[in-house]
Structure formats: C-alpha cells, structure tokens
Amino acid sequence: MTQIANDDVFQTLPASPTTTDSASRQPLLQIRDLEVGFQTQHGLVPAVRGVSLTLYEGQTLAIVGESGSGKTTTAQAIINLLAGTGKVTAGEILFEGRDLTKLSAKEIQDVRGRLIGYVPQDPMSNLNPVWNIGYQVEEAIKANNVAQGKREVRKRTIEVLQEAGLSDAADRLKQYPHQFSGGMRQRVLIGIGLSARPRLLIADEPTSALDVTVQRQILDHLGTLTRDYGTSVLFITHDLGLAAERAEQLVVMYKGKVVESGPSREILANPRHPYTQRLVAAAPSLASRRIQAKKNPQADAEKIYSEGSLDTGLIARATKRENAAPDRDLISVQGVTKVYRIRKGGFRSDELLAVNDVSFGVKKGTTTAIVGESGSGKSTVAKLILQLEGITKGRIEFDGQDVAGLKGAELLKFRRRVQPVFQDPYGSLDPQYNVGNTIAEPLLAHKVGTARERQARVLELLDQVSLPSSTRFRYPSELSGGQRQRIAVARALALKPDVLVLDEAVSALDVLVQGQILNLLTELQAELDLTYLFITHDLAVVRLVADNVCVMKKGQIVEAATTDEVFDNPRELYTQELLSAIPGGNFEFGR
C-alpha cells in the first residue's frame, strides 16, 4: 500500500537484534489461544478471547489497546495475578517451554519475581502504605533468594533502588510511600520488578499516571536497565506512540482479541486492520496531522461515530480564525497571583505560590491552551478565571469588566457567560440526577424559560452533542466516559455562554473518544462562535485545537505564543523538553 518515505523518522526505535536470527531462536514467552473469563452474576464474562503472541529473548513487545480491550488481563494471566473471579479458561502460556497455566501455586510463586518481574500501573496504590520502602524492597529480594544475610540484603536493596534511579536510596529506606512522589514510587516499583534480574518484565502502563517528562526519564531508564540485563519486556499501554517508541513488536488488542500484530514500524507504516487504522489516525502525532488532513478529505454527517480521527475542516477553520481575530481581548489576565496557605503542624503555615504573576489575553472566538505538568498552576488559573477561588493579587477582566469580587446578580451574569467542563467525566455529573435534569440545571438556576422551553432546549443540546433524545432519561452511571463528557459539554452550553473553560476535558478519555470530543468541540466553536480556554498537560492535543499556547511551569508562564510558533520554534528549554517528551512525537504515522 504505502512505502515509508523516510527511514530516519524511526531513529529512536531501539535497534532490533541483528546478531541473532529471531526465527531460529526458542521464544521466551509464547501465548497460544488464551481465553480468560470473569465469573459474574450473569455467568462467565469473557475478557480475553483467543489471544496469541510470541516474545523472543531480549525483545520488547507492546500490547496496545483501549480500556477494556483485555490487555491488562492478558498480562496478569501470565503469572496468575487475575483479580477475584478471573480465570484462564483455555489456551496455554509457554514460558521457556513450560505451560504457566498448569503450574501449582508453589511453582507459579517461584516464577513470580525471580523469572518474571512485574511493574504495575498506578504508583499511588501499588505500595503498601503501612510498610517502609526499604522493607518492601527487601521482601522481594529475600523472597527470590537474591541475597542472604541481613547486611547483604540491605546492600542489595540500596543497589536495586539506586539502579532504579533513586540516588539517595540509602537515606530513604525508612521512609514510607506517602513521603515519595509519584515518579519516585514508580522507580521503587521498577526496582522491585527488576530486583531479581528476571528473564521477563511485565510493565503494565508503568508511567501513565506521571507527567510526560518524568515518564520519559523513567522509560529511558527502564530501557537501559532491561538492555543491560538482557531482560525481555512485555509492555502494556494505551498509547500507540509510546508503544512504537519503546517496542520492536506490537500487538493491537480490541475487545479481548488481537486484531493486528507484528513489527512496530510495519504496523505503524502500514496498518491493515480498520481498527488499527483508526488508532493510527487518531494517534497524537504532531508531525503527521496536516499530512493526514490533506490526504483524507472525507467528511460525512456520521463521521463522529465512524472515526475518532481528526476532521479535515479543522485546520482550515483554525487558519480562518487566526486571520479573523478581533483586536480586543475577551478575557484579560493581568499580573495574577494566587497564594494558598497550607497548614503545617501546629500554628505554623506555609505559603504556596500556586500562580505567580501570570498575564495573558484571550480573543473572542479563539482557543488558548494553558499547558503544564502537575503542580504547574494551570488548573488554579482555570479556577481563578471561573471565580471559584479569589485571586491574591492582580486583575482578571472579562469583556472589559473586572470580575474580581463580583457578587449577586453581577456574578450570576458572569457565570452565565463563562462555563466550565471538568476533567473527570465520572465526577462532574451528579450520579443521582438524570441527564435531562443535569442539562436543565443551569437553565433552572438562571430562571430561563418555561418548563416546556427548557425541555426543548435540552433536546436541542443533546442533538448538538450527537446523543439521541432518549439519553435525557439516563443516569451518569449508565454512560461511558466520553458520553458523560458530551453531557458535561451540553450542560455548559445550555446558557449559550461566550467562553468555555475546559480543564483537562479530554485527558481521561481513550484516544478515539478523545478525537471524537475534540472534533465536536471544534465544530461547536465554529457554529456558536465560542471562545475556549483549554487547560491540559497534553501538548499533542494542544496542536489539534489551540490557536495560542501558554506554557506554565511552577506557577509562571514561561512561554506564550501562537501554537505554530511554540511547536515549530520553541524558545524556552522547558518547552523543548515538553515537546521532545511527547511519546511518538517524532513518528510519521500511517499512510
């Protein structure tokens, strides 16, 4: 179908082993027709349906899939870590020729840790909060007979942690998990996973909870360690770009089945299954976006369901907007500072400078993105603009009016024009309100229209976010994350506001759903002449939707410019770091 135009784009790929011919070797791990099911009230629900994959020694293989694709279940089935009622119902898992599914509890315990290491997903919940770090690493070392004797074990513990990138490990052994940051906890978990120098390491989304720059550091480090030890890696991720960057082999899973597998570069260059093609099209690549838009000029009414890939018209519209920008700022943030008081023990308190002298303007009808890592103060800026928190210093103007200290009817009027959409689609809708009442709530609060008119407006809004009218009777628990987020957008639009403040509004969504919501937002912006303030940690998304970008770090804006400038000529070192840390950022995806 398509040839790869330029091999250089794959330069970051780890060199595939050239010294040995993989076909002649014995595979380290071979999964054949694996079926895993979970026993529920309604009988056995299959989660993995006939998965096969092969991993050779020294290789890194990535399983890519959305939430619910069965990728984690597949990984956990290998060393029988399945939760509660899950069990392998068919197939075999051959590790060095032994079928792991047929091992006794004692035998599989011997495989765990010693032969197959495991690095879990969420660093916050995977360390036991009541034991100190040293103890939890020592435990792994003792269980796998890596070292004997108190002194040796301790020495090895420090080694393991230092190798995982905690240079001050010796001093921190007595500390507890809650005294470590997320990135450091993840390093501890990696250290534990590799402590016995296993033949295979299963890494289940080891960095998805972390900032991109931390993610990059940790994955680089993990790559070096596994290469040094000759450890094979089974890498589980939802991020195609990350998978392509870190693994030679890809297995794409969808609804419990493998839809496509093979060498990474071949799959990325030439995805053949329609699902993989969609994933590739929606992958957060910075370079390929425009190319794809040119090559993909179809746009039909149902496209919101057919593809998560970005809509063709998007770039054109963005260009049009840039040209038609009016002169006055709709939102003007001038020297805004926010200080929080944090109570420390007793009567002392610390001041936390969350936002430090931040200034920027947003023009009507445009999208301004505020980008930063956790703790950068970006969400605080959103709260300040939404008047959910008072500012410590500075001035925020909306449509020429100072909004600080607005009260009563004035505040209500402001709220009517500036509406939020929050990150967590599970938390931002009241679980006890049905969708109709949720969308109608702002109308009711502002006493807009009669009951019948409000009802009509709810239907109109549901239509705008491409949901059937029957959705109004449903409750949030019955909807998917993406559908909830569409409801949140509909609610925000109910009062026909001028500005939407989107705080990480697409961050928690699977990539196809994310693409769908971004398309929707772009269409709505054009249709309703909306102004967006887009708060995100994800630079790849910024490229798709924003006209202007403010990069924040430690409460300050370090760089502010148009999106093209920031992406093409980042001036600040920090921005460059952020850009280069975007997984798969350098890939040329698809056809």
Partner 1 sequence: MLWYTGKRLLQMIPVFFGATFLIYFMVFSLPGDPIAALYGDRTPSPGVIAQIRAQYYLDQPLLVQYFHYMVGFFQGDLGTTYSGRPVSEVMASAFPVTARLAMLALIFEAFAGVLVGLIAGLRKGKLFDASALVVSLLLISVPTFVIGFVLQFVFGVQLGWARTTVSGEAPLNELILPALVLASVSFAYIVRLTRASVSDNLNADFVRTATAKGLSRPRVVTVHVLRNSLVPVVTFLGVDLGSLMVGAIVTEGIFNINGVGGTVYKAIKLGEGPTVVSFIAVMVVIFVLANLLVDLLYAALDPRIRYAK
Partner 2 sequence: MPSNSPSGQTHYVAELEDTPVAAVDRLDESQKARSTWADAWDSMRRRPSFWISSVLILLIVVVALFPSLFAQTAPDACDLGNSNDGPAAGHPLGFTRQGCDVYSRIVFGTQASITVGLLATMLVTLFGVIIGALAGFYGGLLDALVSRIGDIFFAVPTVLGAIVLMSVLPVRTPVTIAVVLSIFAWPQIARIMRGAVLSARNSDYVTASIALGVSNSKILLRHVIPNSLAPVIVIATVSLGTFIVAEATLSFLGIGLGSDVMSWGNDIGQAQTSIRTSPQVLLYPAAALSITVLSFLMLGDVLRDALDPAARARR
Residues 153-192 that bind partner 1 (CB under 8 A): 176, 178-179, 189, 192
Residue among 29 and 240 whose Cβ is closer to partner 1: 29
Contact of residue 215 among partner 2, partner 1, none (CB under 5-8 Å per partner type): none
* Rounded least distance, CB 137 to partner 2, Å: 30
516: contact with partner 1 by CB under 8 A:
no
Residue among 195 and 249 whose Cβ is closer to partner 2: 249
Q: How far apart are CA 347 and CA 349, in angstroms?
A: 6
Residue among 97 and 129 whose Cβ is closer to partner 1: 129
* Rounded least distance, CB 419 to partner 2, Å: 7
Contact of residue 482 among partner 1, partner 2, none (CB under 5-8 Å per partner type): partner 2
Q: How far apart are CA 99 and CA 336, in angstroms?
A: 62
Using alpha carbons, select from 420, 391, 404 the residue that is nearest to residue 555. 391
Among 27, 86, 113, 436, binds partner 1 (CB under 8 A): 113
* Rounded least distance, CB 174 to partner 1, Å: 10
Contact of residue 344 among partner 1, partner 2, none (CB under 5-8 Å per partner type): partner 1
Contact of residue 56 among partner 2, partner 1, none (CB under 5-8 Å per partner type): partner 2
Q: How far apart are CA 588 and CA 494, in angstroms?
A: 40
Q: How far apart are CA 173 and CA 265, in angstroms?
A: 42
Q: How far apart are CA 194 and CA 231, in angstroms?
A: 9
Specify the amino acid at residue 504. Answer: E
Q: Which two tokens stand for residue 116?
A: 């197959």
341: contact with partner 1 by CB under 8 A:
no
3-state secondary structure string across 39-93:
EECCEEEEEEEEEEEEEECCCEEEEECCCCCCHHHHHHHHCCCCCCCEEEEEEEE
* Rounded least distance, CB 526 to partner 2, Å: 21
* Rounded least distance, CB 222 to partner 1, Å: 16
109: contact with partner 1 by CB under 8 A:
yes
43: contact with partner 1 by CB under 8 A:
no
Among 66, 92, 96, 139, binds partner 1 (CB under 8 A): 139
Q: Are 201 and 233 in contact (CB under 8 A)?
A: yes
DSSP 16: P
Which residues does residue 27 pair with via DSSP β-bridges, in sequence order?
A: 56
Specify the amino acid at residue 549. Answer: V
Q: Are 54 and 30 in contact (CB under 8 A)?
A: yes
C-alpha distances in angstroms, 248 versus 14, 206, 263?
7, 18, 6
Judged by CB under 8 A, which stretch of 1-9, 18-26, 128-136, 324-332 contacts partner 1? Answer: 128-136
Among 56, 118, 534, 587, binds partner 1 (CB under 8 A): 118
* Rounded least distance, CB 6 to partner 1, Å: 41
Residue among 12 and 179 whose Cβ is closer to partner 1: 179
**Three-state DSSP class for residue 555:** coil
Q: How far apart are CA 499 and CA 529, in angstroms?
A: 9
Rule CB under 8 A: which residues touch partner 1?
A: 76, 79, 81, 83-84, 105, 109-114, 117-118, 120-122, 125-132, 139-140, 143-144, 176, 178-179, 189, 192-193, 196, 343-346
